[in-house]
Amino acid sequence: MPQQDQPPEAVLREALEANGQRFTEQRAAVYRFLSSTDKHPTADEVFLAVRSQVPVISLATVYKSLETLVGCGLAMKLTYGDGSARYDGRTDPHHHARCLQCSRIFDVAGRLPSEEISELKEGTEGFHVTGYRLELTGYCTHCQPVEPASA
């Protein structure tokens, strides 16, 4: 099992080497930022944040670094209907809540019992389930529901 108490750089270096990828300053910067926030930034937001710490980095490199991190299991890519993908530095299984008004993503504390998923697998006849994703939708504390008041 990988070590969580090592310095972030060491964790990254190890994960990259395990996947035959090189350690670079740009990837380190992206990883540092992503693992330091509990927000779920878009690639562009990562780009803006990282650029203030690394002299020069291109948006394309941020995209590729993020994909590399996802490939190494150090990040997750979250996609929703509204434009950009978002990235999550948390790699332990957890769920998200998405605000229908402001599109922000929040982490949810609880977890779904694994038996429930096992039961659902039975309804897939032939499909080989390897994982799942659960997302709650609604309105965050800053956004009041603006649903039509009609019945």
Partner DNA sequence: CACAAAGGAAGAATGATTCTGAATAAAGGT
Partner DNA sequence: ACCTTTATTCAGAATCATTCTTCCTTTGTG
For residue 39, the SS3 value is coil
CA–CA dist 52, 48 (Å, integer)? 7
149 binds a second copy (CB under 8 A): no
Q: Is 102 in the site for a second copy (CB under 8 A)?
A: no
* Residue 25 touching DNA (CB under 7 A): yes
The radius of gyration computed from the CA coordinates of the chain, to the nearest angstrom, equals: 18
36 lines the binding site for DNA (CB under 7 A): no
**Which range of residues in 1-9, 58-66, 105-113, 117-125 is near DNA by CB under 7 A?**
58-66
Residues 6+ apart with CB under 8 A from 73: 15, 91
C-alpha dihedral over 18, 59, 56, 70, to 10 degrees? -20
How far is 89 from 75, CA to CA, in rounded Å? 5
Q: Does 126 bind a second copy (CB under 8 A)?
A: yes
Shortest Å distance, C-beta 92 to a second copy: 14
Q: Is 64 in the site for DNA (CB under 7 A)?
A: yes
- Provide the minimum distance between the beta carbon of 105 and DNA in the complex, in angstroms, as a whole number: 14
Q: Which residues bind DNA (CB under 7 A)?
A: 13, 16, 21-27, 42-44, 54, 56-61, 63-65, 67-68, 83-85
